[in-house]
Amino acid sequence: MGILDGISRPNIRKLERDKDINGLINALKNKDPNVRFDAENAFIRIRDESLVDPLIRALNDENSDVRWNAASALGKIGSKEATDYLIPLLKDEKWFVRMHTAISLGEIGNDNAVDPLMECLNDEKIRNNVVLSLGKIGNNRATVFLIELLKDDDPVFRSNVLEALGMIGDEKAVEPLIEALKDDDISIKKHAAESLGKIGSKKAIEPLNQALKDKRWYVRLRIEEALKEIETKNKKIN
């Protein structure tokens, strides 16, 4: 019997010290989620280029726990070369593999992932993760698609879309964000204000001042912060 049989608890610290890559990959198959978590974090702490290839190979493992943990570790390591190998997992049969893959592609931030991620916007299980990853990548190509998603009925999803638009920072999003300020939903209003602050357009100043009439102090606080952010950004420009 080896150091790991899928049930016993491996010594992750020893595997990490020894840089036993195969042992850590095997630990990703362990039935104990704490062991899998520790193994993933060991990969992240080691942060050695020698890890990337074994983790990429692990993306094709028959065990879905190995696939999602490998995808997650590659994202946290930030390996751009892993992008093309991660993209196929956006179609994985297991939704949690797709979810962690989408998150990792956002963490890596490679523009090559933009189109494949946009193709997943109809995947109900992961679409919130997809829009936030598009925001983290920050490519303006996603702006028009995200603006269209503001018509969605789900306020949680719309809030994430608004947050993503703020991360991208494209001026084309200013008018839709101003329109979202009129929504009575707290999360929508706050995210719209925050994103307008991040973009820093002077066009948003008057609508934000109007929105200060909101009776909820915590909404007004976010709006005031957005106005200060716009003022700061424009001072730097001038």
Question: What residue spans in the chain does CATH classification 1.25.10.10 cover?
Answer: 1-122, 138-238
Q: CA 89 to CA 84: how far, in whole Å? A: 10
Under a CB-based contact definition with an 8 Å cutoff, are residues 168 and 183 in contact? no
**pLDDT by position in tens, the chain (length 238):** 344 444 578 999 999 998 888 898 888 888 888 898 898 889 888 877 778 888 999 899 998 988 998 999 899 889 899 999 999 999 999 999 999 999 999 999 999 999 999 999 999 999 999 999 999 999 999 999 999 999 999 999 999 999 999 999 999 999 999 999 999 999 999 999 999 999 999 999 999 999 999 999 999 999 999 999 999 988 876 6
Q: CA 102 to CA 58: how far, in whole Å? A: 17
- Its CATH architecture, for the domain 1-122, is Alpha Horseshoe (1.25)
| Coil vs helix vs strand at 15 | helix
pLDDT of residue 6: 44
Q: CA 204 to CA 227: how far, in whole Å? A: 8
Q: CA 201 to CA 49: how far, in whole Å? A: 41
Fold that domain 138-238 belongs to in CATH: Leucine-rich Repeat Variant (1.25.10)
Residue 142's closest CA among 122, 123, 128, 161? 161
